[in-house]
């Protein structure tokens, strides 16, 4: 009986030793596979970075900023992202038969055309710029301007324009206060509608 007990313990020890060898071999295999995946992921990242650097450094892959080709590229991208408009001039896209005009590139000045209410993508009248020519409501999402207005100019002889976020008035421009160079932290990038009182 003692002999049987001893043999059983030896068998258990050998089984445990074999199991631990298999476990170590399994762990080593898992670690080899993980290392191979990490090398493959690292290779993919490096390849992507090299391709990106090549695209940025190769001449002719992207038009120089401010050139006619660059402005046209911006118009094309804008129309692709905001269908329903049509190009009406260099850097300009019109919606609703000219009731709204978007200028995708330009300066940084309060250069709102006479008879318009203008809104800008950046503080201090930084482009892109939108212009509203009609009275009444305009849903800014129709032409991709919801939640992005940071400044505005009123260049009409009378009336008022109010900017709203889901029905809540944010700020206004009008005859008595023609420009808002910065909508402020409470109103910046929140307007989704504008109402022009004529």
pLDDT at position 11: 53
The residue extents of the domains of the chain are 1-62, 68-197
Q: Is the dihedral of CA 86, 90, 92, 97 positive or negative?
A: negative
- What is the distance between the alpha carbons of residues 87 and 72, in angstroms, rounded to a whole number? 10
Chain centroid to Cα 191, Å, comes to 17
- What is the distance between the alpha carbons of residues 82 and 105, in angstroms, rounded to a whole number? 16
With bands split at pLDDT 50, 70 and 90, how would you rate the model's confidence at 16? Answer: low
Say what the pTM is: 0.66
pLDDT at position 43: 46
DSSP code of 144? T
Question: Mean pLDDT over residues 4-22, rounded?
Answer: 57
Which helix (H) or strand (E) is 132 found in, with range?
strand 126-132
In tens, the pLDDT along 39-77 reads: 544 444 434 334 444 444 445 567 787 788 999 999 999
Tokens of 86: 């049509």
In tens, the pLDDT along 94-106 reads: 999 999 999 998 8
What dihedral do alpha carbons 100, 104, 109, 110 form, nearest 10°? 10
Chain centroid to Cα 78, Å, comes to 12
pLDDT of 120 > 60? The answer is yes
Specify whether the CB–CB gap between 85 and 99 falls below 8 A. Answer: no
pLDDT of 117 > 70? The answer is yes
pLDDT of 87 > 80? The answer is yes
The phi and psi torsions of 107 (rounded to 5 degrees) equal -90, -155
100-103 and 126-132 strand pairing: antiparallel
Q: Fold for 68-197, please state it.
A: Gamma-B Crystallin; domain 1 (2.60.20)
Question: Mean pLDDT over residues 118-128, rounded?
Answer: 94
pLDDT at position 66: 72
Concatenate the DSSP letters of all residues of 56-107 into one string: HHSTTSSPPTTSHHHHHHHHHHHHHHSTT-EEEETTEEEEGGGTEEEE-S--
Specify whether the CB–CB gap between 145 and 111 falls below 8 A. Answer: no
């Amino acid at each position: 009986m003692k002999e049987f007990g001893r043999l059983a313990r030896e068998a258990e020890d050998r089984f445990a030793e074999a199991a631990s060898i298999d476990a170590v071999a399994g762990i080593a295999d898992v670690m080899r596979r993980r290392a191979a995946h990490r090398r493959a992921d690292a290779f993919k990242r490096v390849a992507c970075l090299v391709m990106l650097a090549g695209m940025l450094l190769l001449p002719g892959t992207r038009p120089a900023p401010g050139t006619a080709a660059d402005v046209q590229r911006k118009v094309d991208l804008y129309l692709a992202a905001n269908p329903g408009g049509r190009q009406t001039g260099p850097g300009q896209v019109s919606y609703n038969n000219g009731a709204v005009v978007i200028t995708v590139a330009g300066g940084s000045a309060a250069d709102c055309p006479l008879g318009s209410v203008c809104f800008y993508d950046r503080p201090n009248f930084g482009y892109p710029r939108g212009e509203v020519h009609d009275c009444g409501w305009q849903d800014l999402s129709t032409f991709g301007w919801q939640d992005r207005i940071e400044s505005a100019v009123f260049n009409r002889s009378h009336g008022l324009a109010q900017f709203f976020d889901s029905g809540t008035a944010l700020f206004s421009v009008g005859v008595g206060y023609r420009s808002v160079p910065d909508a402020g932290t409470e109103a910046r990038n929140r307007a989704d509608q504008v109402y022009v009182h004529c």
